[in-house]
C-alpha cells in the first residue's frame, strides 16, 4: 500500500530581503549594470579629462595609490557602485587592481594630522603602512583609521579595458556599516604585479568637482599630492530595499509580493525606521496546501515583482522565507 504524502496548510509567510541587485559589477561595465542602483541620487563627477596622454591622467602602478573623497549629502548608503574613467595601458595577465573603501576621520581644510593612520591591504601585496599624512595644498589628512577599513575588491587586469572609453571601470563595494548622510568616505586604488602596465585614471581637467579632493602617492604613501583633481566618475548608491523608498534612504526598488489569498493583492516590502538600506520585509497571512517533500521540508512560493526598468535585469536577491503551517 503506497504511503499517503503529508499535506500541510500554509497560513503565514514572512520574506526578509537584504540584497536586490543586477549583474555583479567587477571590472568592465555591462549594459544593464545600474539595475538595483539609485541612478537619480548618483554623484556625478563630470568634467571629463583631456586627451590621453596628458596632465589629466594619473598612471597607477605598484607602489602608487590614487584616492578620491566622496560625500552623499542627504542619503544613507549601504552599498556603492562606482563607474570610473580608467583603463589598462598595456596588456598584463598577471596584474591586479585593488579597490578599497575607507571611512573618513578628517574634514577638508582641517590641516595635517599624524602619519600612518591608513593601512591599505592588498591580497597579493600584503599589508603596508602609508605615512606622510599631508596632502599638499588640499590640507586634507590621510582619511581613514585601519579599524574603519571597509570592503575591498580585487580586479584581475584581464577584466580591465585596454582602450580609453569614458566610464569603463565598474566596481561594487559594500561598507562595513551603512554610511550616514554627510559622512565622507574615500575610495582608494592600488595595484600588484603590474609590471610595465599602468592603470590610467582620468581626472577632471579643472578643480574639485562638488568640492571633494583626490589624493595621489607614488611611493606607498611616504609623500602625498593633493589639490582637488577629481576622478572622472559616477558613484551610485543602492536603491532602498523597501518598495517605495524612504526619505534619507533613496528611491525604492518596487519589491512586491502578490498574495493569491487576497485575490492578487500586492504586498509591498517595507523597512523599519532607519533600516531601508539594510533590509526589508514582506509579512502576510495566506492559505494554500502543500505536500511535504521527501526531505521533510514544507516549501512555499510567492509571485514576486521588483525592479525599476522594463524589463528588469535583477540577478542577485538575498532573502529568507519563514513559513507558518499546520498539518492536516
Residue at 31 is within a domain: no
| 166 part of a folded domain | yes
Q: Is 76 within a domain?
A: yes
Strands (E), 205-300: 214-217, 233-237, 245-246, 250-251, 256-259, 265-268, 280-291
178 in a structural domain: yes
185 and 306 in a single domain? The answer is no
- Specify the number of domains making up the chain: 2
Q: Is residue 280 part of a domain?
A: yes
Residue whose C-alpha cell reads 549583474 in the numeric block: 23
Residue 29, in any domain of the structure: no
CATH code for the domain in which residue 161 is found? 2.60.120
pLDDT (tens digit, 0 to 9) for every residue of the chain, 328 residues total? 345 567 888 888 898 999 988 877 777 665 556 789 999 999 988 777 778 888 888 899 998 888 888 889 999 999 999 989 899 999 999 999 988 887 665 444 333 333 333 333 333 222 222 332 333 333 334 443 333 445 678 889 998 988 887 778 888 888 888 989 988 888 889 899 999 999 999 887 666 666 777 777 777 656 667 655 788 888 999 999 999 999 999 999 999 988 766 567 888 999 999 999 999 999 988 887 888 777 777 776 777 888 777 667 778 888 888 888 887 6
Residue 146 has φ and ψ, to the nearest 5°, of -55, -35
Q: Is residue 56 part of a domain?
A: yes
| Nearest CA-CA partner of 212 in 113, 130, 109 | 109
User: Which three cell numbers mark 37?
Assistant: 542602483
Among the candidates 237, 257, 286, a domain finishes at: 237
Neighbours of 141 (CB within 10 A): 24
pTM of the model: 0.81
Range of the domain at 105: 39-237
Answer yes or no: do 87 and 61 share one domain.
yes
Is the same domain home to 114 and 166? yes
Amino acid at each position: 500500500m503506497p504511503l499517503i504524502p503529508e499535506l500541510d496548510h500554509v497560513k503565514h509567510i514572512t520574506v526578509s530581503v537584504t540584497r536586490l541587485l543586477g549583474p555583479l559589477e567587477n571590472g568592465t561595465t555591462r549594459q544593464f549594470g545600474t539595475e538595483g542602483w539609485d541612478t537619480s541620487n548618483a554623484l556625478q563627477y563630470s568634467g571629463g579629462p583631456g586627451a590621453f596622454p596628458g596632465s589629466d591622467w594619473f598612471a597607477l602602478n605598484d607602489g602608487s595609490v590614487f584616492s578620491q573623497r566622496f560625500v552623499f549629502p542627504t542619503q544613507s548608503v549601504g552599498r556603492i557602485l562606482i563607474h570610473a574613467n580608467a583603463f589598462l595601458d598595456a596588456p598584463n595577465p598577471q596584474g591586479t587592481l585593488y579597490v578599497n573603501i575607507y571611512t573618513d576621520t578628517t574634514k577638508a581644510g582641517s590641516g595635517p594630522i599624524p602619519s600612518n593612520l591608513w593601512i591599505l591591504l592588498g591580497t597579493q601585496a600584503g599589508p603596508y603602512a602609508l605615512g606622510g599624512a599631508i596632502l599638499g595644498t588640499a590640507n586634507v589628512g590621510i582619511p581613514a583609521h585601519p579599524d574603519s577599513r571597509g570592503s575591498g575588491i580585487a580586479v584581475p587586469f584581464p577584466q580591465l579595458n585596454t582602450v580609453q572609453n569614458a566610464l569603463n571601470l565598474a566596481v561594487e563595494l559594500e561598507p562595513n556599516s551603512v554610511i550616514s548622510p554627510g559622512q565622507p568616505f574615500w575610495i582608494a586604488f592600488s595595484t600588484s604585479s603590474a609590471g610595465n602596465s599602468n592603470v590610467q585614471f582620468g581626472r577632471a581637467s579643472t578643480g574639485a568637482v562638488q568640492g571633494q579632493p583626490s589624493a595621489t602617492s607614488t611611493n606607498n604613501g611616504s609623500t602625498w599630492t593633493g589639490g582637488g583633481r577629481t576622478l572622472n566618475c559616477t558613484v551610485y548608491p543602492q536603491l532602498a530595499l523597501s518598495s517605495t523608498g524612504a526619505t534619507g534612504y533613496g528611491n525604492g526598488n518596487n519589491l512586491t509580493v502578490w498574495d493569491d489569498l487576497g485575490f492578487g493583492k500586492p504586498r509591498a516590502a517595507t523597512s523599519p525606521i532607519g533600516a531601508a538600506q539594510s533590509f526589508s520585509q514582506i509579512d502576510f497571512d495566506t492559505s494554500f496546501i502543500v505536500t511535504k517533500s521527501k526531505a521533510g521540508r514544507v516549501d512555499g512560493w510567492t509571485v514576486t515583482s521588483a525592479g525599476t526598468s522594463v524589463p528588469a535585469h535583477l540577478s542577485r536577491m538575498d532573502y529568507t522565507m519563514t513559513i507558518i503551517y499546520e498539518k492536516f
